[in-house]
Structure 1
Amino acid sequence: MHYYYKILKEFNFSYEDDVKAAKLLNSMIKRDDNILKKLRLLLNNKEAYIYGAGPSLLEHIKYYKHPLIVADGACKAFLEHNIIPDIIVSDLDGDIEALLKCNDRGSIVVVHAHGDNIDKIKKIVPKLKNVLGTHQVPDLSLNNILYVGGFTDGDRACFLAKYFGAKKLILGGMDFGEYITKYSRPNIKNLIEKGDEIKIKKLRWAKKLIEDLKKDIDIEFL
């Protein structure tokens, strides 16, 4: 809760809009115990490989193993290498075409609700199958979607793996610097560009949250 309210203040996010988005997603996704069981089987007591969409992504792809979790647009890079992630963690601002293709070929999509993606939830969630919902309001309890912790897609993927019992996290494509890739922001011109101020702040928070998570689970960076 302490971090959540600091994030709301720093980014001028709306608690009410976060709750609205969470309740919308909760109304669109029915709890699927088979997906929960599958995630537990995939991750419990396993070393999970988790990839972000940072500048080191393409260099790190060759080291991947299953179970493989990717943050949002990183799925496009794996798809280009004909690799289908087991899980994609997304707030729906990456490459949607790649996300849908991976989902169609077996990826579980963990869709995150926050105040800024309500329209995307309405448009994209009905197109998905094998989907799990998450939200970011720590004191909100809903029947059909989960609160697992985390803020950005990358660090939330780490919290998700821990939530489902992973024993170790091995991270690739997570740089936490000032540069972003086209996999993360499809609208930029070049493959790698300097991120805007908001994106850089988000990466700093992702780094902080993962560093905190290291107190509870073994984390290795490629």
Structure 2
Amino acid sequence: MTFVQLIDCRTSRFGEMDRLMDRWVEQTKGKRTATHDMIGKDRSDGSHFVEIVEFPSYEEAMENSRLPETDRIFQEMVALCDEPPTFTDLDVVRDEQLYKATARRFYDLLAADTAELPPMDEVLAENYHDHDPANVEDNIGMDHIRREMQMWRDAFDFTFELHDQIADGDRVCNRFTWRGTHKGDFMGIAPTGKQAAMTGTTIFRFGEHGKIVEGWWQYDRLGLMDQLGALEGLEQ
């Protein structure tokens, strides 16, 4: 379960504290378990700051706290505060709605009516891992999955209709209908101009910064090939 810690403090020496945070980031490179860190300033009180630190779990947050660099920087941070900081520990119990919205955005971007495939980095992690039973090997990494997506876009003008989304923890299951017009070469099949449709599901796993890090696809590719006429003459 994602864990968030809020650190509430008052200081008239924020410039020094900001440099202190930069030093902590540098000293803990490759060791810290925090996935996201941000500091907000109170608009009505310029000396009031809240730091929000996100971790994959409470256990990993405790691992981060045990780093000697963290303890040393924390002592220096307390010395810069006008009064002792307060801490609020939070288990994240609801972020599924944001995950579902990101999943919907993924399908919108993939099917966007644009000459070029839109940037996908707002929804996909750079190391995204794609599981598609139609492919001999998984696609891993942004460059590989973009080539796969472009192959589909070059072959079809298509849309997705989402029927159901079910969120559970860091995963969202999506049930969809895909509809496309065959306009370019697809798996060696010359453009037919035919309209085709197929149903399918995708399970997305979300990770750092709320982006999709892994996907599992199931869809009626055999039915699609039949609609394109690729199976004619194969029936007994």
Aligning the two structures, in what range does the TM-score lie when normalised by the shorter sequence? under 0.3
Larger-Rg structure: 2
Q: Which has the higher contact order (CA 8 A, sep 6+)?
A: 1
Taking structure 1 as the reference length, what is the TM-score of the superposition? 0.25
Higher relative strand content: 2
Higher relative helix content: 1
